[in-house]
Structure 1
């Protein structure tokens, strides 16, 4: 009986200690850029496998409303960190330097921004957009950068009607003829068309910004200045945990999809596996990441993006590259080199 009591006491003590340790983890509110999809699986895997907890963090992940909106959410103080667009961050840093977040890990080295039209429609070139209607989600970075695409390709963005639309209706609006084109992330629409039993390559025209004069970076891990100032060790831990999970998913995408299904049981696993692989192949694996590793960036290329956004928005002040991206929290380059898939 005494042995049983001691065992129960020990178990209670261990349980209390574990609960106390969990309670001591720093709470971090993290916003995605979009609804949970394959390319978000590494965030959920980092939580599921305890990578955040290993770094002393208790991370809550919420779904988002667009890459630009993620920047706004962190700026407002509602979220400590998130997955947002670096171009939206540049504009925020120019207008509100004290409140703007900082990117600490670039995920989408290759930008996914695209204008998409129907193969049998009226938009067969970017210049055909004049006098037409383009739909995009309100918080979309692709939507925000549309005027820069127009300037680079010699058409008047002012002659294009831009429609704000719900994120789950974009592709349907194009297919039904309610919009002549859409501004969207490539991997999002590509897989959504497949889900609609359409052929993305045969049924649609794809005008990627990166192929039409805009060599841009895109989404990465952004954190508030307050988090950097108050808990720099937490920023380093957040980056380390996410990097660790990304490497796991790139090596074996199935583990990422499993983590996603645990959060979203109704996930179309086949579709999201394709979306995930598409993103890895096009946004993560680039000539630049093969040289410098994922997470880091080229300062000159970033400088060009800053100037492009400044020309677009007529900034009163030009933010320094260091105000946009801080690479001091990155793991060693050897830990950021993308592995070969299993």
Structure 2
């Protein structure tokens, strides 16, 4: 995993706990990530077979001739957004605030966000994944996820609102499944089996009984308790993350060329990648299509 064990990766733990990977003939171990873990580096070094990735990261890798390929998308939109103190009403209210962002965000959403809302570079400050500066300062905004940071903020009794970037046209998929071209080309049956089992896990985690997955998450992360996990699940359900609210989605985890083109053009338009990158090399729709896990 690119991040720690928590509800936003719960579908993978559900698949492991329920034996979906085993039933697909796969021996799967899930390892925690975090801000100090370079998942792409581990993947390319052969220390893991698949990672949870990010479309921008994969496109950057393709531009640098890395053999990365996205084989499925857990969520039909990215879950990232910005959290502002009440009485904020939109992302336009970021003007005049100090904005805490991770260093990696300068290569993802920040160029777009700053251009769209007329923000200055001086407003951006480092986010060290400690919410305390936000909790004590009404003039501070922070990047985050509705399914995790918002729980901690509400537990602290702070009135705040979450604004999803996807609602403003931010195009990447969320919690993508990424592997190497060697594995995708050399063992397509195993990759399809992994995608199928993972999406079965996601369907059950969000629309069935998540207890098996939650038990494994709590073993992997002492920070997670039942209340935090339940909040994350409810938030993801409300956001229709598996389908993006799209009627007629043919299969969970599926992707489209049009959407990847939009992400590539978004990156070019915001100076994040040079024109001419072979963006089609960054994804392969065949695996999720073959997995055929239908929405609940």
TM-score by length of 1: 0.74
Distance in 1 separating the partners of 2:10 and 2:222: 13
Cα separation, 1, equivalents of 2:219 and 2:198: 18
Write the deviation string for residues 73-113 of structure 1: whole angstroms up to 9, x where unpaired: 4345443211121122222222x13x142111111212212
The residue correspondences of 1:269-280 to structure 2 (distance < 5 A) are 269-280=226-237
What is the aligned partner in structure 2 of residue 251 from structure 1? Answer: 207
Report the Cα distance in structure 2 between the residues aligned to 1:173 and 1:289, rounded to whole angstroms.
41
Bigger mean CA deviation after superposition, 259-268 or 106-115: 259-268
Query: In structure 2, how many angstroms separate the alpha carbons of the residues matched to 1:117 and 1:250?
Result: 27
Structure 1 or 2, whichever has the larger Rg, is 1
For structure 1, the residue ranges without an aligned partner over 5 or more in a row are 1-31
- Cα distance change on mapping 1:104 and 1:300 into 2, 3 Å: same
> Does the 8 Å contact 1:129/1:160 carry over to 2?
no
Does 1 or 2 have the higher relative contact order (CA < 8 Å, sep 6+)? 2
Say whether 1:64 aligns with 2:33: yes
2:37 pairs with 1:79: no
Residue 296 of structure 1: aligned partner:
254
Alignment TM-score, normalising by the size of structure 2? 0.85
**Inter-partner Cα distance in structure 1 for 2:272 and 2:81:** 24
TM-aligned CA distance change 1:293 to 1:229, over 3 Å: closer
Inter-partner Cα distance in structure 1 for 2:198 and 2:244:
19
Q: What is the CA deviation profile of residues 238-279 of structure 1, one whole-angstrom value per residue up to 9, with x for unaligned ones?
A: 112212222222331433323433544663112202202311
Tell whether 2:266 aligns with 1:308. yes
Taking the aligned partners of 2:14 and 2:272, their CA distance within structure 1 comes to 41
Separation in structure 1 between the aligned mates of residue 192 and residue 107 of structure 2, nearest angstrom: 32
How much does 1:295 deviate? 0.7
Deviation for aligned residue 1:143: 7.1
Equivalent residue in structure 2 for 1:328, among 286, 293, 296: 286
Equivalent-residue separation in structure 1 for 2:288 and 2:273 (angstroms): 29
SS in 2 for 1:107: strand
User: Matched residue of 2:83: which SS?
Assistant: strand
Contiguous gaps of at least 5 residues in structure 2: none
Number of residue pairs the alignment of both structures matches: 294
- Distance verdict in 2 for CA 1:267–1:314, change over 3 Å: closer
The structure-2 alpha-carbon separation of the partners of 1:276 and 1:235, relative to structure 1 and needing over 3 Å to count, comes to: same
CA distance in 2, matches of 1:260, 1:158: 37
Match of 1:52 among 21, 24, 36: 21
Q: Secondary structure at the match of 2:30?
A: strand
1:28-70 CA distance string (max 9 Å, x none) = xxxx132111232221222223322233322221112259954
Identify the match of residue 148 of structure 1 among 82, 87, 112: 112
Deviates more, 1:268-277 or 1:172-181: 172-181
Contact 1:34–1:67 at 8 Å: present in 2 too?
no
Equivalent pair of 1:90/1:309 in contact (CA under 8 Å): no
Indicate the SS of the match to 2:27. Answer: strand
Instruction: Give the alignment partner of residue 230 of structure 1, picking from 171, 179, 186.
Output: 186
Residue deviations 1:297-320 (CA, integer Å, cap 9, x gap): 232222111111122235344334
Shift of 1:211: 2.7
